[in-house]
Structure 1
Amino acid sequence: MDLLTRIRIVERTGSTNADLLAAPAAGEGEWLVALAQEAGRGRQGREWRSLKGNFFASTLIALRPTDPPAPSLSLAAGVALIRAVEAAAPATGLMLKWPNDLMIGPAKLAGILLERSGDRLVAGFGVNLANAPAIESRETIALSSVALVSPETFAPLIAAAFARALELWRSDLTRLTTAWLESAHPLGTPLTVRAGPDETLAGEFAGLDPDGALRLALADGSVRVMHAADVSLG
């Protein structure tokens, strides 16, 4: 089965992540792309707004006993996302922000949501190709500010980039982590991390743990390892 035949495009659905997880016959490498998504989700249950012309898609990964820690797949997804956008448009200022955002300068261009059920995991991608949604207290941007790219054109780019990143994840996690770091906010970048409803930390980016967790250097010289948190630059 070649790449294009593994990409299924539908006019509308609730959630591409939910659809793939609910399809027992779906195999690794299959992609579901929706031109409109009615129940899209971001991290921590947040709504992902479906604006016309944007990209909403998910792919399935069948986890193997020999695979690296599943959370580190977020690194593969991030590397694939930035490579696909680089291939689609001459965007400048592209940068990965932990844990799952792709930025152009200070504004969010795209996000990733990983969800797992047993040994099946889906990676969902939302990319502002045409329109930037309004998000309270967050700056957003659309790729249309630099180039016009359709969901149908972007789909094979992200599918090919993710296939390469997934192979690297399984064969050389260290190289994959290096690739992510080279595309992300640099070491020493000031970060504000909301680790919970009553806990906000200020520190500097100190790299990643092997499973993809954030290492935050605090002012007292200690390093806090964060597996789930909201991160702001500065």
Structure 2
Amino acid sequence: MIEVIAETGSTNADLAARVAAGEAMAEGHWLVADRQVAGRGRQGRAWSDGAGNFMGSTAVHLQAGDPPPQTLSLVAGVATYAAVEALAPGLPGLALKWPNDLLVRSAKLAGILLERRGDAVIVGVGVNLVQAPRLPERPTACLTDLGHTVARDGFADMLQTCWAHALRLWRSGGWEQLRADWIARAHPFGTPLKVHGPEGEVLHGTFGGLDPDGALQLQLASGTRRTIHAGEVDLDRR
């Protein structure tokens, strides 16, 4: 089910409030906003509401035996990539960046935000369909400027389908397949990366894949490999 509302502060915040109030939010229910006036990205960044863009959230209710919850960010990345690929086929330079961005030739096309509320994980997805917000720290892109006209409601339907398939696979022992799918859609092995750790540490290395729990593997110049569980990752343009 896709529930569309005209305007809200944040679809993630709305679903989190519903979950906290005890509302039974069925998995597969998406809340999609025409306008989102207080949207957020990772680390509290503001995210443009971009009228005509896709801004939506859904909830996952964790069950015994599920893979690690943080892997849902990567599952959402695979689903978002699949939806974009289906509606904008042949888009050059489309790639996933750990843990939650979809890029086109290093410009941000989409972002994903996970928020945990008890045994529920709220998964928020924002995709630049018709407008690319100006961000001071990174280039951005939208599908219209790339020559693809994709209607918001059509994208919502496609993402709902791709997400349902990915979530079923995640739940039924398919995490390793999804992990392999994510790596196959990411920037190539050896891509230079810069990582800002949560304690302020800055690391430079190259992309070395994902560990079994979805953590980033960063290959350092010294030859050692660091496992990154949290941090801000950017392409290193030194």
Asked if TM exceeds 0.5, the reply is yes
Structure 2 unpaired stretches of 5+: none
AA aligned to 1:13 is T
Q: Aligned-pair distance for 1:167?
A: 1.3
Q: Distance in 2 between matches of 1:206 and 1:92?
A: 22
Question: 2:198 touches 2:230 (CA, 8 Å); kept in 1?
Answer: no
Distance 1:139 1:168 in 2: 33
2:190 aligned to 188, 191, 210, which one?
188
Find the aligned partners of 1:68 and 1:17 in 2 and give their Cα distance.
22
Residue 207 of structure 1 contacts residue 214 of structure 1 at CA under 8 Å; is this kept in 2? yes
2:124 aligns with 124
Aligned with 2:5 (options 7, 10, 13): 10
Residue 150 of structure 1 is matched in structure 2 by 151
Runs of 4+ in 1 over 4 A off after TM superposition: none
User: SS where residue 187 of structure 2 aligns?
Assistant: coil
| Structure-2 residue corresponding to 1:229 | 231
Given that 1:9 and 1:33 are in contact with CA atoms closer than 8 Å, whether structure 2 keeps it comes out as yes
Instruction: Classify the secondary structure of the residue corresponding to 1:84.
Output: helix
Deviation digits for residues 144-195 of structure 1, max 9, x if unmatched?
1221112111101001001111111122111110000010011111111111
Q: What is the identity percentage for the equivalent residue pairs of Structure 1 and Structure 2?
A: 52
Say whether the 8 Å CA contact 2:101–2:108 is kept in structure 1. yes
1:78-227 matches, within 5 Å, as 78-90=77-89, 91-145=91-145, 146-170=147-171, 171-196=173-198, 198-227=200-229
Residue 137 (structure 1) shift: 2.8
2:46 corresponds to: 47
Determine the C-alpha separation between the residues in 1 that align with 2:202 and 2:111.
Answer: 22
Aligned match of 1:57: 56
Paired residue secondary structure (2:165): helix
**1:6-65, CA deviations, whole angstroms, 9 ceiling, x for partnerless residues?**
110111111111111211221211100001001111001111111111110001111101
- State how far apart, in whole Å, the 1-side matches of 2:12 and 2:198 are: 25
**Residue 197 (structure 1) shift:** 6.0
Q: Counterparts of 1:27 and 1:227 in 2: how far apart (Å)?
A: 29
RMSD between superposed Cα atoms in Å: 1.1
For residues 222 and 95 of structure 1, the distance between their equivalents in structure 2, rounded to whole angstroms, comes to 25
Structure 1: which 5+ residue stretches go unaligned?
1-5
